[in-house]
Amino acid sequence: MATEEQRQDAISQANPDPTRVVESKKGTVGVGTLSIARHQLTGRTVWTTLITNTNYLPGLLALDYSLKLHKSAYPLVALYTDTFPPEGHAALDARNIPKKRVNYLLPSITKDYSNDPRFYDCWSKLTPFSLVEYERVVQLDSDMLVLRNMDELMELELDPPNMAGKGERVFAASHACVCNPLKKPHYPKDWWVLPLFAGFVGYDADGKDRIPENCAFTTQHSDPDTAQKEGAPPTAGLGMPNGGLQVVNPSSEVYSLILDKLANDTAINYDFADQSLLSDLFYGRWVALPYIYNALKTLRWEGVHAAIWRDSEVKNAHILLSPKPWDERPGEESDETHKWWWRANLARKEDERARGIDDAF
């Protein structure tokens, strides 16, 4: 087990300058979807999102705009790595988006993610656990779009840092969908059934090749009303969180546990990077949020989890996979959620032009 000195050294390497780059507005937050009591804000709570290049910058800018549009009391901090270029910094500065440099995080033995290169960057999404200058961090993927205020996540009850990762509420997230609706052949065998195994238990005769009982969201199909308010238990299905939204109380002890896992040779078995590690390290000891906080666009599709999806209830749409909406033209979107993104993005650009901001992003 790491000593206190080793824990602090790990934090200092991950977060060498633990100075808050921005303060939240102080005030109160009221009861929301999660029925959280009203509390005083401390000014030490933020949203964060990782950015390593300009490919996701349009997404980040739309995410920031959507948080402000829905009157979040908390700022979004861009966590950038050394690969983020000058033109990206200029775009953030022009919009007064606070930013913080973070190290690029990788395990000691790196898994081959050539089939899904996005996962190389995903390890760095574990960095918020090290941001001890804040009491609460909610990490968001840059391909998300906030549709309703979700500030109540900042007051969700989690284990305090002094529990050192030994409690039952270490972090909060929504479940991963393990249905593999795009039938990616490199996905794990417990996510879908190869045609070779047609006829065996779990094979979908309609050709969807899914294993529905392995997905936590399937357990909620019979009670969609509850699915809007509660997540399935953290051990439901394969018991894996989706790393797109993580609610975290930063802690040197918890971050040290994460680094120990990254240093272990077993990290090569983590098919989905950060979310696989968190699932393994804290199995069943995380808070499962309802899908509305990390509404994967694929859940909306017929034959996946349309049984629980309600457009009017979604607070945060996660526009995962390719193509991204900013890779398409408005009016030629390949998914309904891409239309939502374009409506918000066009409004963002119009607002920025009125303020004299008109760059390539």
- Interatomic CA distance for residues 323 and 146, integer angstroms: 19
Confidence of residue 209 (pLDDT cuts 50, 70, 90): low
Q: How many domains does the chain have?
A: 1
Residue 125 DSSP SS3: helix
User: Which range (140-144, 184-188, 218-222) has the least confidence?
Assistant: 184-188
Lowest-pLDDT range, 15-19, 143-147, 152-156, 200-204? 200-204
pLDDT band at 29 (very low <50, low <70, confident <90, very high): very low
The mean pLDDT value for 127-153 works out to 98
Q: Does residue 138 fall inside a structural domain?
A: yes
Tell which residue, 229, 242, 238, 230, has the closest CA to residue 171.
242
Of the CA atoms within 13 Å of residue 319, those in its CB half-sphere come to 29
In the structure encoding, which two tokens stand for residue 299, read together? Answer: 């859940």
Tokens at 155, concatenated: 């007051």
Between 35-39, 82-86, 241-245, the lowest mean confidence (pLDDT) is in: 35-39
Q: Which domain holds residue 308?
A: 4-178+215-354
Burial of 121 (0-12, 13-18, 19+ CB in 10 A): buried
Any idea which of 65-69, 92-96, 188-192, 354-358 has the lowest mean pLDDT? 188-192
> Per residue in 129-144, is it b (16+ CB within 10 Å) or e — as a string?
bbbbbbbbbbbbbbbb
Question: pLDDT tens digits for 241-283?
Answer: 999 999 999 999 999 999 999 999 989 999 888 999 999 999 9
User: Where does residue 98 fall: left (phi above 0), alpha (psi -120 to 50 degrees), or beta otherwise?
Assistant: beta
Angle CA 105–107–108, to nearest 5 = 125
pLDDT of residue 114: 76
| Comparison of pLDDT for 46 and 108, the residue scoring more | 46
CB half-sphere exposure, 152, CA atoms < 13 A: 19
| Rounded Cα distance, 116 and 113, in Å | 5
Q: Is 125 within a domain?
A: yes
Give one DSSP letter per residue of 256-311, joined into a string.
Answer: HHHHHHHHSGGGGG-TTHHHHHHHHHTTT-SEEE-GGGSEEGGGGSTTTTTTT--G
Which helix (H) or strand (E) is 118 found in, with range? helix 118-122
For tokens 């979040």, the residue is 72
- DSSP annotation string for 51-105: ESSGGGHHHHHHHHHHHHHTT-SS-EEEEE-TTS-HHHHHHHHHTT--EEE-PPP
Does the pLDDT of residue 195 top 60, yes or no? Answer: no
Q: What pLDDT shows up at residue 140?
A: 99
Band the pLDDT of 23: cuts 50, 70, 90: confident
**Residue 9 pLDDT:** 75
Report pLDDT for 352.
98
Q: Can you read off the two tokens belonging to residue 360?
A: 């390539």
Mean pLDDT of the chain: 89
Model pLDDT, residue 28: 46
Mean pLDDT of all residues in 76-105: 98
Residue 189 lies in a domain: no
Which H or E run contains 337? helix 336-354
Taking residues 47-55, report their average pLDDT: 98
Q: Is 179 exposed, middle or buried (0-12, 13-18, 19+ CB in 10 A)?
A: buried
Question: Is residue 206 assigned to a domain?
Answer: no
Q: What is the pLDDT of residues 217-242, one digit of tens each?
A: 999 999 999 999 999 999 999 999 99
Residue 165 has pLDDT above 50, yes or no: yes
Let me know: does 275 contact 176? Beta carbons within 8 Å. yes
Classify residue 24: in a domain, yes or no.
yes
Rounded to two decimals, the pTM is 0.90
pLDDT score at 116: 76
Positive or negative: CA dihedral 19, 168, 309, 208? positive
Whether 31 maps to a domain, the answer reads yes
**245-248/28-29 β-pairing:** unpaired
Domain membership of residue 311 (yes or no) is yes
Give the orientation angle of helix 336-354 with respect to helix 57-69, to 10 degrees.
Answer: 80
CA atoms of 194 and 187, how far apart (whole Å): 10
In a domain, 196, yes or no: no
At 14, which CATH number? 3.90.550.10
Q: pLDDT band at residue 24, thresholds of 50, 70 and 90?
A: confident
